[in-house]
Structures are given as C-alpha cells and as structure tokens.
Homo-oligomer: A and B are copies of this chain.
C-alpha cells in the first residue's frame, strides 16, 4: 500500500466512481506502460465490485489492457487538471506519460499495472468479462484492491462536460434522514 494512503473496501469504490469523475487508467503489458484519461465508466455491482469502462479501440492503452487483462483506475483531483488534459491529448505510442507528466509509478499489490501516486485513490482491476469488448469496446473489471488518501473525505474531482469544459465537484449535501435504512451503506469506509 502506498505510504500516504489507506485501504478502501472494494465494494465502497462506488463512493468515488458513481459521481462520474474523469479517471486515469494506468496499464502495463510486458515492457510497455501507459496512462489514458477516461470519462465513460459505470459501477455495475457492489460485490464483486464491478465497474464497466468504454476504452476506445483507438487508444494505445486498449491493447495493453486487453492483453494484460488488468489495469488501475486512478482518481485525479482538480489540482491535476492540466496533467489530465495533456494525457488525454497525447498518445502513449510516442511519449512516456509517467515521465513526461512527472507522475510517480507506484507498485500495485494485486496487479502488474502501476498506481499513479499523485492521485487521490487507486483501484486495482482485473478483467472480469470481455464479452462486450468486440462490439462496444466495453470492459467489465473487478476491483480487487482499493486505496485512498486519508483526507479530505470528499475529493475535488473533475467531471468532463465536453468542448474542453470541466465541472469541479462542488458542495456536499446530506439527505440521510430521507433514506430508508436499507438504502444506505456502501459509503466511503
């Protein structure tokens, strides 16, 4: 586990992914390592902790993920926005995205792909189902290990709205009192 991070139960990954942030996908296959930006992801199940990602076939990362059957989903915050955009606008065919962006590749515990140390959270993923990859470039991953920073409780994630604009996560409002008890849980413990 990265020194600055704490464990997160994989089934609580939803607390960070369901709000729809831009994420960085890191991957490794053989000698090749890459990072890509991704906004098209979805939580599919709590246990096992499943997340679906649409990784366009035009991305250099597509082949690395498909062949290694692994990746890490990393959660950047608004202080990393320029890095996120640069990564999304360059190709791993021509540049080393860790070195070029001064990002720290940290070892994961359950997969070969590296964690991005600067990100708020890291979700180590193994390919769970590739049945939708040929038709939709849609990978279903199982999150097998998760890490998050100790603070803040609510990270300032960034959410892409197209045309170069991002929405930055705003205030938190609680409506716990309106929920039936059985509808709560799966938070951020």
Contact = CB atoms under 8 A, between A and B. Distances in A.
A186 B165 CA distance: 11
A32 interface: no
A114 interface: no
28 contacts: A18-B20, A18-B39, A18-B159, A18-B160, A18-B162, A19-B167, A20-B21, A40-B42, A43-B54, A44-B54, A85-B178, A86-B178, A89-B178, A89-B180, A154-B161, A154-B165, A154-B167, A162-B185, A162-B186, A163-B186, A164-B174, A164-B175, A165-B173, A165-B176, A166-B172, A166-B174, A166-B175, A169-B170
B161 A44 contact: no
Interface in A31-69: 39-45, 50, 52, 54
A82 B175 CA distance: 8
A15 interface: yes
Interface residues of A, number: 63
Interface in A144-184: 154, 156, 158-180, 183-184
Contacts of A140: 136
A93 to B, nearest CB: 15
A81 interface: yes
